[in-house]
Structure 1
Amino acid sequence: MRNKLFNSFTDPIPPLRYDVQIIPVKQNGETFLYFQDQLGYAHSDFAVPYSAQSLFSLFDGSRSVEDILEFSDEQITKEQILEYVQFLDEKALLHSPYFKEHAQQTEAEYEQSDVHSSNTYGISYPEDPEELEHFLNEAFEKLPSTEAVESAKALYAPHIDYRVGLNSYVKAFSAIKNLTPKRVVILATSHYSGLYPELYEEHPFVISNKDFELVNGTVEADREAIQEIADQVRDDELDYGITFKDRAHRIEHSIELHLLLLNHLWDHEFKIVPIVVGSLEELFYKADGFQGQQVEQFSQLMNKLFGKDEDTFFCISGDLAHVGKKFGDEQPAKELFEDIRAFDEDFLDFGAEGNPDKILELMSQEYDPYRICGYPPLFSFLKAFPTLQGEILTYDIWDEEERESGVSFGSILYF
């Protein structure tokens, strides 16, 4: 990298990145600070003593090493302070020229790669392949399941953490364990495309042509089908709202959690067309505006290419409401559960009816009051297949009591 680590006693120290969470964790009676970077730029294999918190409060972008030295009562030199600052800079925790170049390089390397490496293993599920197989076998053997069908066109299912939604996953995915499609088109919530407005503000449909490398095997991208999409939209990507610049996939989990289960349940080979769908909130204000026309074009293309293909199955990955203090509500989630159950019931009913217009009307009433992250992918799917009928399989709410927050999620099987 051309930019070197921060190296000055008198220049202002770059501030700590505002988008990195500092989390206190106790170990062996001592408290340490760990860093959680949702963008995946920072190295997370280290911690610092809790006492460093007072020092971090001085890294506000205005103070130099020499300034900070004046605040210290301890026997510490300016060389030691600079060394510590450089340590944080190297770990991608400071908003510095070094970090900015590191971030750009990380994104460029991902976009140029042919492989998407898993980012959920070891968190939601075991990272050892044998342990994962045992974990999933036990789940599908012991938890309540749904009778398997012999044919279906799509499954709308959650992407919530396995640790809180495994019952719902088992009920949803056991229904399709006997299917043998050669291709799976995945329409999934994009949680991160909003972080890159310069790329995705006018391109809500982000397609990747990468193979997905998972703990239980690699699922290949259907590059032939993806190329067919590219050929159809050549020179008109904006009209379809489609882009193949896929950095929004790099840290996304909404596709992986479906693929792991398909890989576990199906013995046959299949390939994927991975698509994450960004915000479609413009439709709340003007349904027939530019974004509405993009959704129409995209959905018609999906129907044209895959609608009558019996070897293509759709997975739609999305949760429902996100409420409570973690998500910006003043009220604790429990006080909102009655309201969100009623809202979710309507959302799932309209989804099962195959009625995208009613879903949009519902979502537009108060401009997505409960933050339904499954709305963009499910709405886009239903616009492509508006007469498809579904059956609601599950509905659950995760009550995260300690944070006074909650997430609801459900599933629909389409025949």
Structure 2
Amino acid sequence: MTTSARPKLRDRLAAERAEGSFHVTDPYRVGSPVQLSPLALEVVKRLDGTRTLSDIQAELTTLTGGTILPLDTLDGLVKALDDALLLDSPALAARIGGPVRLPSCVGAYDGDPARLRAQVDALFTAPGGPGLPGKPAPSPHGRLRAVLVPHMDYARGNVTYGWGFKELAERTDARLFVVVATSHYSPHRYTLSRQHFETPLGVCETDSSFVERLDAVYGPGLFDDPLAHVPEHSIELEVVVLQRLLGERVRIVPLLCGSLGDCVDDGTDPAAAADVARMVNALRAAEAAAGEPVCYVISGDLAHIGPKFGDRRKAEGAWLKQSEGQDRTILTALEKADPAAYFGVIAAEADERRICGLPPTYLTLAAAGPTSGRVLHYQQFLDPKGRESVSFAAAAFYD
């Protein structure tokens, strides 16, 4: 790197002191962690895209009372940060850009295609499962508009996945699926991707026409966080199951939904938020112009309780039963397919149990406009030591 280069550190990295040094990590899990000395941290603080290495050298010489840090040392530090993908640089762009998003969840599921197919099949055939999907047939409940499924790893979400996806496989002829999913990494309300999604089962096409229509109607902002999709599991886990069920025929629209915490705090229906209203309108317009059946896949879980999530008590006993009761109230509201009623139940408890499926579920109900819902399965995962409990459900929505 030349002395005239102006390297820039990525935003939203985290630094923690650790035994006389600093541990820098990437919450997006794109870059590798690095250990920095206090002096190296002073260098890193100045990597803002406006300073050259010579500028930084001069500032540090003043800071240290005349000690000159060699430019080769500065260059080596910057190169190490770049190799760790912690800089906004061509190396980072090469990792996250391109037409295909690489899988990030292999390990949470099997990387071998044959074993992965068997793993997905077990979501249907394991004890308590619905069995493998049969031949498609019209639903007695009306046209299927959406399904709600978990995004827990397959081992814990298990047959709840199967209940939701069996309904999808048997009750819709759509091959275009808008996957509306919880965003776990980005602060943005909505983040879209143009990339296709690769898994061990192949490359799932992202429908570029639908994506561009969303972008045109919604307006600026949907691509402002290019890192949001890179580590995110909530779309990838659903894509794998869709690929197993429908093969190369499936296409997706990958839409991540950030928090509705501001609406919960204010006690105002999200419909009053300008960006939510724009997205509802954009989805409706994009679907109307699709020229083919469209089905929604809501990727979201229910309650997250226990010390892992900041609670002071273990997830056990009466609290688990109480939490299930609150979940059942939410699911009753879901069966009305009324986004305002659904939001109202969660807002009434101030989202104290961290219902991560709130944003994608609300948006889908508002945009797809189903008239009824049906809960297919419910489950509570409990860590044996009470450190955490996560609940989730499968549900279907019809008009």
TM-score normalised according to structure 2 size: 0.75
Question: Is 1:414 the equivalent of 2:397?
Answer: yes
Q: For 1:14-29, what aligned pairs fall within 5 Å after superposition?
A: 15-17=22-24, 19=25
Could you report, residue by residue, the CA deviation over 1:257-289 in whole angstroms, capped at 9, with x for unpaired residues? 111111001146121110000111111215268
What does 1:369-384 correspond to in 2, within 5 Å? 369-384=352-367
Percent identical among aligned pairs is 24
1:216 matched to 2:201 = yes
> Do residues 132 (structure 1) and 121 (structure 2) align?
no
Q: Alignment partner of 1:249: what SS?
A: coil
How far is the alpha carbon of 1:244 from its aligned partner? 5.7
Distance 1:412 1:139, change over 3 A: closer
2:252 counterpart residue number: 272
Q: Which runs of 5+ in 1 are unaligned?
A: 4-11, 21-36, 45-55, 65-85, 195-199
The alignment partner of 1:220 has SS state of: strand
| 1:354-409 alpha-carbon deviations (Å, 9 max, x no partner) | 11111221222242100010000000111113443111011101101235211001
Partner Cα separation in structure 2 for residue 100 and residue 222 of structure 1: 29
SS in 1 for 2:335: helix
In the TM superposition, what whole-angstrom CA distance separates every residue of 1:135-166 from its partner, at most 9, and x where no partner exists? 33344344421675635221110000111111
The one of 170, 182, 207 aligned to 1:189: 182
For the 8 Å contact 2:23–2:33, the answer to whether it is kept is: no
Pair 225,110 (structure 1): closer, same or farther in 2 beyond 3 Å? farther
AA matched with 2:119? F
| 1:338 match | 321
CA contact (8 A) 1:187 1:315 kept: yes
Deviation at 1:41, TM superposition (A): 1.1
Indicate if the aligned counterparts of 1:397 and 1:409 stay in contact, CA closer than 8 A. Answer: yes
Query: How much has 1:243 moved relative to structure 2?
Result: 3.8
Equivalent residue in structure 2 for 1:180, among 173, 179, 189: 173
Please state whether the residue corresponding to 1:237 is helix, strand or coil: coil
Instruction: Give, in angstroms, the shift of residue 254 of structure 1.
Output: 0.2
**Structure 2 regions of 5+ residues with no counterpart?**
8-18, 42-73, 139-143
Secondary structure of the 1:402 match is coil
Query: Is the contact made by 2:124 and 2:159 (CA closer than 8 Å) also made in structure 1?
Result: no
Change (3 A) 1:338 1:274: same
Counterparts of residues 388-399 of structure 1 (less than 5 Å): 388-399=371-382
Report what 2:50 is aligned to.
none
Aligned to 2:395, the other structure's residue is in SS state strand
TM-aligned CA deviation for residue 107 of structure 1: 4.7
Match of 2:148 in 1: 156
Task: Give yes or no for the alignment of 1:316 onto 2:309.
Answer: no
Of stretches 362-371 and 257-266 in structure 1, the one that deviates more from structure 2 is: 362-371
Of residues 116, 120, 123 in structure 1, which corresponds to 2:105?
Answer: 120
1:182, distance to aligned residue in structure 2 (A): 2.7
The Cα of 1:328 is off from its aligned counterpart by 0.3
The equivalent residue for 1:246 is 226
Worse overlay, 266-275 or 318-327: 266-275
2:389 is aligned with what amino acid?
G
Change (3 A) 1:106 1:320: farther
Answer whether contact 1:16 1:60 (CA < 8 A) is retained: no
Q: Is the 8 A contact 2:123 2:160 kept in 1?
A: no
> Does the CA contact (< 8 Å) of 1:280 and 1:291 recur in 2?
no
Partner SS state of residue 180, structure 2: strand
Task: State whether residues 182 and 270 of structure 1, in contact with CA within 8 Å, keep that contact through their aligned partners in structure 2.
Answer: yes
Root-mean-square deviation over aligned CA pairs: 3.4
Aligned equivalents of 2:145 and 2:392: distance in 1? Answer: 20
SS at match of 1:371: coil
How far, CA to CA, are the matches of 1:106 and 1:333 in structure 2? 43
Instruction: Report the TM-score when normalising by structure 1.
Output: 0.72
